[in-house]
Amino acid sequence: LAKKFTDAGYDKDQSVTMARQVDIGKTIPEAHNYTVAETIVDTHNKEGGSTIEWRTGRAMKEGFPVGIGETEILKKEKIAIEDISRFRSAHIESLTIPGRQVGTWWNKEEKQTELDVIEVAPTREDAIEIGRRFDQKYTFDLATGEEIVIGPEVSIKETQQQAEKTKDQITPQTPDEIIGKQYGIDPAETRKRLDNAEKRYRVLKNKPVEDRSKTEKTELAFLRRNRKNIEALLEQETQPLEPKRMTRRKALALGHKIPDLLGWPEEQRRSFMERIVGTRSMKNMTPAQREQIIMALQREAKEAGVEVVGPDPIPVGELAAKLRERKQKPALSRRDRRNMKRLRKILYVMKSGTSYYFLHSSRLKRLCRSLDNYEDNGPFMRYIYQPVKSADTKANVNFTEAMSAAVVTLNDLKIDAPAMMVEIKNIGIKDKLSTAERIGVWTLAQNEHTMNHLLSEFSKEEIGKIVKSVEAAENEMLVAAEIQNYFEQGWPMFEAIAKVHGITQMTKAENY
């Protein structure tokens, strides 16, 4: 008889219990109820809790259980079959609703066992909705054991009001008000002081020179230069109550340093930023958003007892960044560029600069000519601009030759490379990536360091989908192999040039 119950889906111990209950005259449903109650008791007494599906008698491995407020407290740790049977009989009407089960939990803090009618939701969102309906504080993921806090529901209007309030606190209305706030002065007082400085300047200016005192002459000279400079005016009277607004470079440095001190992995750092301001990369944030992120990270560090010291100044890095700057409209983010219309994307690439490389040659030329007092063949032009221009031109030629060879190879393989620049496939992610862009992502995903750059734009799940889409297409993998081959061929020349200049401690990373 026990074997028949095993064949019906019960495990070995349950089959024996079922057979014994039938032998003493119980019906199959009665034997089933007794067996499941025994399974709940055994599981609870061994593990400190249980979530057993009554229909199958099996432990539930997926879903999100939430209490519905029907609870019985037992002042003991070990429970008996009679406790489960009594509780089920008392709540049988509620337990007949699909999805509801008997759950048990040993509360160590209160030294008591809690028997609950629980509803097992299929998703986290459903569980939170049910929990709010029944005024519950927690649920958990049966698959991972993760505890989930059920917070109060916040309306869209309340969220928008809070966002506007935060924005007003972080971003004053004008540059003068920003500076005034740093000195502890409200916007109205800032405007008043600027108006008074302008009036005082006009009074002193209209006063005959011979009638001005020495102090007034000094004051007039100061106001002539600084009457519209609120910072200079306030500097005479008080000291800043809080530091000036953080620079972009310092914010980026702290944005990496604090998570490192907290021991956060890269994905946790980017998820934290996305949760605070909706962006995974600090490079794409506004100054106010960067300040908000740093303030949030500093709070996390303070709660964790981690002391944060500001980053060391790196003037060389700042100077190099300044040389790479270009006077143009604010740069589009990479995500914005990817989602452009096709014609606009082509025009954007065509107008992207005079060089494909790091130095912007036209700006360097203007700088060198000005340092040479605009002579045509001065030393700055000869020793700085001309060598850089020559090297940049050679690099362009070499790059074009290498790419031309790659195009010939692709044509031999009957691969339409230009089409890959514009064709877009739906692979289940929100970005509209061309085939060429997906191949580029695949290439970067092959190395740990370049993978970190990708994580600023995509989640790990999105990167996985992109990589699979490329690996599933033979032509796309051939193009990817050609790209890797291009860099492999360039390494010996790069290494030789480095050795000529005395750089010997270099190693080539795999797939970089």
Mean pLDDT for back-to-back runs of 10 residues, the chain (512 residues): 77 85 87 90 90 86 88 91 91 86 89 91 87 84 84 58 56 70 78 88 88 85 84 67 64 87 88 87 83 87 79 50 49 65 59 47 80 80 82 73 73 78 85 88 88 86 93 89 79 78 77 68
Mark whether 135 and 175 lie in a shared domain.
no
pLDDT reported for residue 169:
52
> Would residue 378 count as lying in a domain?
yes
- Asked if residues 90 and 51 have their Cβ atoms less than 8 Å apart, the reply is no
pTM recorded for the entire structure: 0.33
pLDDT reported for residue 366:
83
> Would residue 326 count as lying in a domain?
no
Question: Of the candidates 85, 116, 149, which is a domain's last residue?
Answer: 149
Mark whether 13 and 60 lie in a shared domain.
yes
Mark whether 9 and 113 lie in a shared domain.
yes
> Would residue 268 count as lying in a domain?
yes
- Residues 479, 154: Cα–Cα separation, whole Å: 49
Mark whether 27 and 118 lie in a shared domain.
yes
Mark whether 39 and 131 lie in a shared domain.
yes
> Would residue 154 count as lying in a domain?
no
> Would residue 159 count as lying in a domain?
no
Mark whether 81 and 214 lie in a shared domain.
no
Mark whether 21 and 130 lie in a shared domain.
yes
Mark whether 136 and 181 lie in a shared domain.
no
Burial label, 232 (beta-carbon count in 10 A; 0-12, 13-18, 19+): middle
> Would residue 212 count as lying in a domain?
yes
- Which spans in 304-384 are helix H? 315-324, 334-338, 342-350, 361-371, 379-380
- Residues 62, 131: Cα–Cα separation, whole Å: 17
> Would residue 241 count as lying in a domain?
no
Mark whether 230 and 252 lie in a shared domain.
no
For 21, the domain range is 2-149
Mark whether 143 and 38 lie in a shared domain.
yes
- Residues 324, 326: Cα–Cα separation, whole Å: 7
Mark whether 403 and 490 lie in a shared domain.
yes
Mark whether 367 and 422 lie in a shared domain.
yes
Distant-in-sequence contacts of 299-307, Cβ < 8 A, 24+ apart: 300/258, 300/262, 301/258, 301/261, 301/262, 304/262, 306/258, 306/261, 306/262
Count of domains observed in the chain: 4
> Would residue 334 count as lying in a domain?
no
pLDDT reported for residue 335:
67
